[in-house]
């Protein structure tokens, strides 16, 4: 049966339901270049405005998976589990989490991305370690999973190429926010990756992609349904991103903080979320009777980290780079720090050089922000609140502009729960 791009667009424009055949055809034709960018952007806008049914989203996701290769970890000697975060500020959780879960007996094939805008990228953080490389062949990936138990690397071009093309289009056509397209984008890559279990960290708050709890819940429920329908044991945690995670935002700064967590210390919120996600990954992979918190305390997670970094040509003993320029922001009054806005901190770190505006932009390994207090802490006038790190002091002015309204001191403080809810099938 032959299809036509304009007919597919009209169906969704008029609030109709796309057939399986229409979806399969349009994804394949767009990947091959037979459907033009302007036609696919029109369809994406119709999906943003009119939504999709669960069946449509599942078929759309399956068509994107079918556009490329699928990985298979069945030959590994242990079960697999992966984690995906929708991104935030100071979200370095993948760094301690992957080796921690591997230390508990579950293999972690963590295919990660780079930062864009105010949200940091896991690969950018790890590239601040001298020698470390993100690109692995499928053979290297499989061997490292068997030998070490954990891999954090870039996804190959063969996984869901339709998503790569559509993601770039959504970015420039105002359709990034379409929940069916977000869900299918994330889940097509994760299902194609072949993991047996998947835990989603869906962030909500000013520093998150999803500002509204209702939208975050809808996205989480949609992704859990997609994973479940595809035979992947999937669970989601809704977590707070109104305040940065931990005490750092920036590449080498976040690696340093992750090492503190792996050494049995680190900020309480980073430890809490790392252990909670590890417990979910172990349960989803069918592993019981192991306490992830103990694996942080006894050093076994750190042992896996060192082997994981070395396997990707990084030097786990190398000194991390340090910014030549620093600027301290001090508290203007005395009282309880009641708000420290995650988005403002993320934008400031980006302006300091920690992030990129376009995919091809370079990032600075040393740029970022160190937090000396978190909401709920008592502060006194004149004490350091933030330290800004940069290669070039000329970057401080614009970063400080984004921080102008980031802090409240002395207004009533209400503690936020870090883990808001748990979504299952």
Q: Among 33, 195, 185, 174, which Cα is nearest to 111's?
A: 195
Q: Which residues pair with 84 in a beta bridge?
A: 200
Of 59, 92, 125, 189, the catalytic one is 189
Q: Among 66, 71, 69, which Cα is nearest to 25's?
A: 66
Rounded to the nearest 5°, which phi and psi values hold at 164?
A: -60, -45
CA quadruple 294, 300, 301, 303: dihedral, nearest 10: 160
In terms of Cβ atoms closer than 10 Å to its own Cβ (0-12, 13-18, 19+), residue 295 is buried
Of 83, 170, 190, 395, the catalytic one is 170
Residue 315 annotated in active site: no
Residue 398 annotated in active site: no
Crossing angle of helices 251-262 and 94-103, in 10° steps, is 30
3-state secondary structure of 202: strand
Of 85, 185, 258, 364, the catalytic one is 185
Interstrand relation of 197-204 and 407-409 (parallel, antiparallel or unpaired) = unpaired
Residue ranges in 86-241 assigned as alpha helix (H): 94-103, 122-126, 138-147, 161-172, 179-193, 213-229
Of 82, 124, 163, 269, the catalytic one is 163
Token pair in block for residue 290: 């192991």
Residue 298 annotated in active site: no
DSSP string of 317-339, one letter each residue: TSPPP--SEEEEEE-SS-EEEEE
Residue 4 annotated in active site: no
DSSP element (H, E) containing 250: strand 248-250
List CB contacts of 269: < 8 A, sequence separation 6 or more.
Answer: 245, 246, 374, 418
Kindly report the number of other CB atoms within 10 A of residue 215's CB atom.
17
Of 83, 84, 92, 203, the catalytic one is 84
DSSP element (H, E) containing 57: helix 54-66
Interatomic CA distance for residues 123 and 133, integer angstroms: 9
3-state secondary structure of 176: coil
Residue 201 annotated in active site: no
Is 80:109 a contact under the CB 8 Å cutoff?
Answer: yes
Is 329:406 a contact under the CB 8 Å cutoff?
Answer: no
* Placement of tokens 């806008």 in the chain: 45
By annotation, the residues acting in catalysis are 84, 163, 170, 185, 189
């Amino acid at each position: 049966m032959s299809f036509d791009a304009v007919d597919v667009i009209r169906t969704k424009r008029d609030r109709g339901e796309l057939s399986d055949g229409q979806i399969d055809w349009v994804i394949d034709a767009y990947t091959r270049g037979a459907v033009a960018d302007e036609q696919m952007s029109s369809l994406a806008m119709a999906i943003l405005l009119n939504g999709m049914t669960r069946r449509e989203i599942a078929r759309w996701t399956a068509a994107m998976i079918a556009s490329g290769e699928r990985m298979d970890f069945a030959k590994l000697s242990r079960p697999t589990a992966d984690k995906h975060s929708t991104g935030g500020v100071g979200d370095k959780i993948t760094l301690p989490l992957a080796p921690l879960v591997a230390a508990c007996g579950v293999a972690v094939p963590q295919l990660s991305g780079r930062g864009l805008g105010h949200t940091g990228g896991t690969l950018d953080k790890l590239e601040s370690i001298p020698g470390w490389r993100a690109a692995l062949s499928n053979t290297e990936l499989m061997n490292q999973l068997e030998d070490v138990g954990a891999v954090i690397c870039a996804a190959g071009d063969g996984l869901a190429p339709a998503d790569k093309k559509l993601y770039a289009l959504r970015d420039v056509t105002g359709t990034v926010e379409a929940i069916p397209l977000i869900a299918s984008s994330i889940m097509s890559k994760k299902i194609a990756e072949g993991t047996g279990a998947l835990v989603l960290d869906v962030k909500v708050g000013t520093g998150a992609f999803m500002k509204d709890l209702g939208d975050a819940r809808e996205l989480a429920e949609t992704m859990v349904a997609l994973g479940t329908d595809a035979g992947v044991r999937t669970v989601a945690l809704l977590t707070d991103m109104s305040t940065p995670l931990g005490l750092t935002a920036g590449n080498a700064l976040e690696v340093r903080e992750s090492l503190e967590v792996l050494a049995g210390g680190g900020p309480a919120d980073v430890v809490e979320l790392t252990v909670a996600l590890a417990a979910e990954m172990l349960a989803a992979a069918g592993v019981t009777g192991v306490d992830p918190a103990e694996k942080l305390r006894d050093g076994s997670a750190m042992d896996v980290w060192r082997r994981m970094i070395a396997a990707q040509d990084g030097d786990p003993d190398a000194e991390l780079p340090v910014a030549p320029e620093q600027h301290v922001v001090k508290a203007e009054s005395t009282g309880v720090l009641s708000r420290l806005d995650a988005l403002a901190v993320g934008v400031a770190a980006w302006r300091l050089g920690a992030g990129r505006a376009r995919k091809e932009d370079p990032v600075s390994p040393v740029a970022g922000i160190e937090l000396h207090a978190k909401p709920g802490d008592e502060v006194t006038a004149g004490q350091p609140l933030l330290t800004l790190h940069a290669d070039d002091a000329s970057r401080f002015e614009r970063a400080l502009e984004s921080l102008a309204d980031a802090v409240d001191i002395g207004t009533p403080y209400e503690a936020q729960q870090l883990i808001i809810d748990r979504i299952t099938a």
